């Protein structure tokens, strides 16, 4: 039971809550609002939903059980306080007089209390892999277990230091793992109740009121206490507070979206329901005036439509009808290049029944033809688009309650491009520069069948000679015959290199890579520092000398190679390079230049037109 200190803190918080002003009526995006579903005036403590053979909604109240079907509520167990309900091999009700079971949707009930000590049953959970196995949380007697559908019950309390089990949760993928919330915090069992261990340390994780588990990733566990909401991302080993955005923290009910488990709901005092779209990191209030400031004791999703959530309150059952949640587009990115058969893709809109897309060629916010339904698919391949045309596209999600447009209703655009090199798709970050490099006749690639560019390959010093001279003189340029300046040229099988390298030397753009004898190292990779010298001399002539270094890059100067920094800084100053990293800005002067980067450097340096 609650000790004196907890009771004192509880009374202080209750008085603070009751003396505060009622909440301002606000509704988050994607929510239409709460409407009374039934049982006005009844204090509802729990809700269960069955879909076989037809959907029925069961509400456990301070006056027994109410069953909704066909537009009417039928009353049973009249006068018996009912705190918890679960559906397995029959309908179970945890009450102030033990556990009752119905095999006919609540029309008739029988007590199933053999082995129970008597008293109030605050919580019930069922093994998802075996509907005959249930656990009951008692008010003062701990946790009890049945393996035969309530035929008899056995205490499973070893390790529990507090026998008030206010709430229970079971791991859906490993039902031997359960959590029990008590006034002393959260306890966990790994062996189906054989033994329990405390797993909460924070003093605010006392006076537990609710538990919930991510059905997709059960390592995510949520716990609501009288004082806050907590989350564990490692199956209960550690916890952190997760209540940012919540004003009223006494969390009596938690629910995890079964389709999009990063979406959560928390029900608290005074008719507050909060929603989180990011796994409890932040919360937004869903109060819309309809809950009438009554405490929210239970939350459950409608299994036939996740957009509808039912709340059990001290004034009956309420229904939250939601339009789909906000969502974003993924690809093609806004302003990106795309192939003629791009794949449109977008994120999840929780609560959506269908998705629809359309595209527009006139940027007037209207479909060229009509919206196309993709069902639950979140990607679609287009075809027959026009090369170099710009398209604008939008996606919307729908359900019976309304429509949500992606990215806040903003249309994204992409431009259809043709792909020259098989290994450089049009959405490559340097596609335009590589295309410009090719269009200028500087390169024909590095292989055929298919035509490829080898964007990640380093640029050899021999290739550098070809690139620079073609950039300077045009695609039709051919150097004069070789003069045999360098002792390491020609290279057998690559005799073409020598004429290009000799012309580079003749123009004073290179002095080689060594003397005595003079050598060029044609097969060596070109470093980023050497590239700066090559480009600036090719552009401005052999007499060009850069101004003193401005010390832009944190990884320069290089000890013993201080000459590099002025050349690199001049290249940066002219906008040819932006370095190789930021935070701090660095250049990587001795790193080999990749062919994709070289294309960008030369296109920028020689102002070659972009496609």
What are 111-158's pLDDT values in tens digits?
999 999 989 999 999 999 999 999 999 999 999 999 999 999 999 999
Strands (E), 305-388: 305-313, 316-321, 329-331, 336-338, 343-346, 354-360, 372-375, 379-381
Q: Does the pLDDT of residue 27 top 80, yes or no?
A: no
Rounded to an integer, what distance in angstroms lies between the CA atom of residue 181 and that of residue 407? 40
Query: 61-85: per-residue pLDDT in tens?
Result: 999 999 999 889 999 999 999 999 9
| Residue at token pair 């204090």 | 43
329-416 has the same fold as 4-40+118-303:
no
* Residue 2 pLDDT: 38
Strands 178-182 and 185-189: antiparallel
> Distances from the Cα of 263 to the Cαs of 276, 301, 473, in angstroms?
5, 12, 61
Question: Which residues, in sequence order, are CB contacts of 151 under 8 Å at separation 6+?
Answer: 112, 114
DSSP-derived letter for residue 586 is B
Rounded to an integer, what distance in angstroms lies between the CA atom of residue 189 and that of residue 177? 5
Q: Does the pLDDT of residue 103 top 90, yes or no?
A: yes
With beta carbons less than 8 A apart as the criterion, state whether 381 and 364 touch.
no
With beta carbons less than 8 A apart as the criterion, state whether 56 and 13 touch.
no
Question: What is the CATH code for 4-40+118-303?
Answer: 2.130.10.10
Domain boundaries, the chain: 4-40+118-303, 329-416, 535-591
Residues 433-457 have a mean pLDDT of: 96
Identify the three-state secondary structure at position 470: helix
| 34 — pLDDT class (breaks 50, 70, 90) | confident
State the sign of the Cα–Cα–Cα–Cα dihedral 517, 523, 524, 528: positive
* Residue 7 pLDDT: 39
User: So what's the architecture of 329-416 in CATH?
Assistant: Sandwich (2.60)
Residues 169-185 have a mean pLDDT of: 97
Identify the three-state secondary structure at position 309: strand
Strands 343-346 and 336-338: unpaired
* Residue 30 pLDDT: 56
Average pLDDT, the chain: 91
* Residue 289 pLDDT: 56
Helices (H), 574-605: 595-605
Rounded to an integer, what distance in angstroms lies between the CA atom of residue 100 and that of residue 111? 4
């Amino acid at each position: 039971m609650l000790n004196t200190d907890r009771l004192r803190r509880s009374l202080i918080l209750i008085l603070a809550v009751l003396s505060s002003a009622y909440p301002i009526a606000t509704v988050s995006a994607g929510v239409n609002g709460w409407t009374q579903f039934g049982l006005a005036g009844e204090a509802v403590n729990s809700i269960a939903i069955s879909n076989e053979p037809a959907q029925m909604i069961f509400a456990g109240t301070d006056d027994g059980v109410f069953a909704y079907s066909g537009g009417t509520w039928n009353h049973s167990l009249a006068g018996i306080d009912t705190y918890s309900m679960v559906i397995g091999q029959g309908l179970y009700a945890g009450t102030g007089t033990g556990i009752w079971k119905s095999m006919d949707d609540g029309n008739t009930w029988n007590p199933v209390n053999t082995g129970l000590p008597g008293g109030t049953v605050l919580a019930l959970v069922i093994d998802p892999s075996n509907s005959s196995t249930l656990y009951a949380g008692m008010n003062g007697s701990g946790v009890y277990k049945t393996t035969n559908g309530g035929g008899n019950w056995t205490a499973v309390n070893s390790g529990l230091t507090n026998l008030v089990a206010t709430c229970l949760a079971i791991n859906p993928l490993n039902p031997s793992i359960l959590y029990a919330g008590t006034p002393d915090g959260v306890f966990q069992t790994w062996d189906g109740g054989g033994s329990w261990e405390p797993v909460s340390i924070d003093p605010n994780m006392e006076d537990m009121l609710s538990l919930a588990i991510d059905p997709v990733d059960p390592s995510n566990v949520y716990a609501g206490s009288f004082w806050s909401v907590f989350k564990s991302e490692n199956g209960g080993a550690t916890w952190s507070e997760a209540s940012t955005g919540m004003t009223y923290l006494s969390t009596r009910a938690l629910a995890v979206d079964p389709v999009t488990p990063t979406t959560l709901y928390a029900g608290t005092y005074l008719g507050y329901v909060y929603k989180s779209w990011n796994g409890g990191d932040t919360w937004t209030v869903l109060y819309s005036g309809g809950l009438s400031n009554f405490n929210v004791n239970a939350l459950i999703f409608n299994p036939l439509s996740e957009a509808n959530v039912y709340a059990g309150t001290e004034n009956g059952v309420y229904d939250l009808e939601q339009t789909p949640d906000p969502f974003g587009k993924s690809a093609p990115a806004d302003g990106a290049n795309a192939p003629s058969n791009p794949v449109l893709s977008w994120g999840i809109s929780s609560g959506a029944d269908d998705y629809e897309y359309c595209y527009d060629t006139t940027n007037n916010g209207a479909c060229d033809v009509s919206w196309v339904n993709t069902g639950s698919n979140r990607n679609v391949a287009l075809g027959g688009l026009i090369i170099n045309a710009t398209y604008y596209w939008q996606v919307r999600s729908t359900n019976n309650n309304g429509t949500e447009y992606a990215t806040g209703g903003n249309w994204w655009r992409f431009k259809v491009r043709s792909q020259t090199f098989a290994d450089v798709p049009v959405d490559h970050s340097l596609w335009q520069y590589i295309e410009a490099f090719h269009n200028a006749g500087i390169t024909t690639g590095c292989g055929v069948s298919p035509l490829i560019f080898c964007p990640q390959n380093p640029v050899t010093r021999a290739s550098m000679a070809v690139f620079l001279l073609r950039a300077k003189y045009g695609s039709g340029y051919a150097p004069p015959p070789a003069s045999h300046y360098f002792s390491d040229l020609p290279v057998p099988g690559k005799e073409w290199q020598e004429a290009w390298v000799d012309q580079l030397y003749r123009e004073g753009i290179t002095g080689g890579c060594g003397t005595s004898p003079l050598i060029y190292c044609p097969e060596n990779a070109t470093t980023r520092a050497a590239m700066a010298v090559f480009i600036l001399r090719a552009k401005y002539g052999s007499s060009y000398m850069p101004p003193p270094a401005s010390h832009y890059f944190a990884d320069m100067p290089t000890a013993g190679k201080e000459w590099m920094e002025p050349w690199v800084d001049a290249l940066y100053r002219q906008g040819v390079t932006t370095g190789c990293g930021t935070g701090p800005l660095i250049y990587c002067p001795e790193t080999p230049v990749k062919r994709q980067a070289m294309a960008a450097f030369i296109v920028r340096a020689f102002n070659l037109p972009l496609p």
